[in-house]
Amino acid sequence: MPEPFSSARVSDLPAFEREWTALRECVPPWRENERLRSSLSAVDWTRLLLLAEEHGVVGQLAACLNNCNAQGVPPQIHQTLVERRRILNMQTLRLTAELFRLLELFGKQGISALVIKGPALAAQAYDDPSVRTYGDLDLLVRQPDIRRATELMIASGYEAAVSLNAIDAGKIPGQYLFTKRDSKLLVELHNDLTLRYFPQPLPIDDFFAAQVRVPIDAHEAPAPSVEDELVLICVHGAKHFWERLSWIADVAGLLSKQTDIDWERLASTARAVQSEHLLHTGLRLAVEVLRAQLPEEVLSRVLEDTVAAKLVASVLRWLPAAGYSPPGLLKRASFRLQMSGSFFAAPIYLLRLSLSPTEEDWQSGRQVSHRGFLEMLRRPFRLARKYGRPGRD
């Protein structure tokens, strides 16, 4: 079995320029063979694989090299990619089996859930759940069902990061996280209250009403419509400053594989949560970084969005470093202000994100504080400590 590659810092960005160019040719679902062969002709294969791992696109790289019968791949790199693909396949099978077990468990108790990201997105964007790298399961569950869902997860052998006491106290985390230490399974439950990076609350009932059934391994999983999923992943990418190529690849994959997108409904969904600029940012990144194709009228609308243009320009400065040259505290604040897109709403949006406590703010060991006002005041200082220092966040 090949040795795993080091996760050493991608600190010398110019040294990775050829590998970054090659990776952008390997990741899209469409490829120009001549460009691909040219970009791969002079790469350092070890660096290419390291960069792919940091960007979370090893599965896409392996599939590309396998499908195009790329020449010149060193035997050890080929063997490493085969091994990585095998591990991804095993992980996908394990997570998919657990996904359908949980959906059945929730269904018997009358708890509705939608699969977001993970295997459903992989099937929709790549036609193959094993291509996209993911290490957990994400489910959208209505807030009134969270307590019962937590009880079911605990009864199933999971440890809850957010206790029943915290739920009863009305604490709202960034996500309801569940772990199984013996099997390393991770499950996150989300809803309109935890998805706080949406400028306006998610219309969760509309998402459930418009759900689709996504075929996965001879089963079907309930998932948001492709239009709702696009808005979700574009807001998620903005939340993380689009620091990894994998998030842009997901957008590009959906644009390529889902040819019946209702563009008017997509725009309506984005407007409902005041996320038009965030949607346009994701779409424009897919176009500029991975040469995604958009209908002419949609592309025109995206390119006319000056707020999205500024966000994209910022992202392109730190994207190649895969999170190893993260924006500092002031740049983060500036990016968050622009995410709102409104001169009047932006400070309110930033203030809400800065003062809304999560589990990092209100948990102390196993004790849950009930002093919400103090948690709110402490949060900006914790964020300043976390993101105000240099280095990877």
Per residue in 162-181, pLDDT tens?
A: 999 999 988 889 899 999 98
Q: Tell me: the pLDDT tens digits for 64-103?
A: 888 776 677 888 998 998 888 888 888 888 999 999 999 9
**330 & 309 share domain:** no
**Could you give the number of structural domains in the chain?**
4
Pick from 234, 238, 233: which is nearest to 311 by CA? 238
Full domain range(s) for residue 202: 88-224
Does residue 1 lie in a domain region? no
- Boundary residue ending a domain (324, 339, 367): 324
- Other Cβ atoms less than 10 A from the Cβ of 159: the count is 11
Between residues 265 and 323, the one the model is more confident about: 265
State the CATH number of the domain containing residue 163. 3.30.460.40
**140 & 243 share domain:** no
Chain mean pLDDT for the chain = 86
Beta bridge partners of 115: 139
**283 & 317 share domain:** yes
**132 & 155 share domain:** yes
**294 & 383 share domain:** no
- Boundary residue ending a domain (305, 324, 343): 324
- Boundary residue ending a domain (173, 207, 224): 224
Mean pLDDT for the stretch of residues 193-211:
93
Q: Tell me: the pLDDT tens digits for 334-382?
A: 888 888 766 566 676 666 666 566 666 665 444 445 555 555 556 566 6
Q: Please check whether residue 209 is in contact with residue 225, taking contact to mean a CB–CB distance below 8 angstroms.
A: no
Q: Residue 230 has what pLDDT?
A: 98
Mean pLDDT for the stretch of residues 137-161:
97
Q: Residue 153 has what pLDDT?
A: 97
Q: Residue 369 has what pLDDT?
A: 52
**219 & 147 share domain:** yes
- Quote the CA–CA distance of 352 and 55 in Å, as a whole number: 30
What Rg do the C-alpha atoms of the chain give, in angstroms?
21
**96 & 220 share domain:** yes
The beta strand positions in the chain, using DSSP E, are: 114-116, 137-140, 159-160, 176-180, 185-190, 212-216, 219-223, 363-364, 367-368
Does residue 78 lie in a domain region? no
- Quote the CA–CA distance of 131 and 139 in Å, as a whole number: 20
**245 & 311 share domain:** yes
**96 & 217 share domain:** yes
For residue 173, give both structure tokens: 């985390």
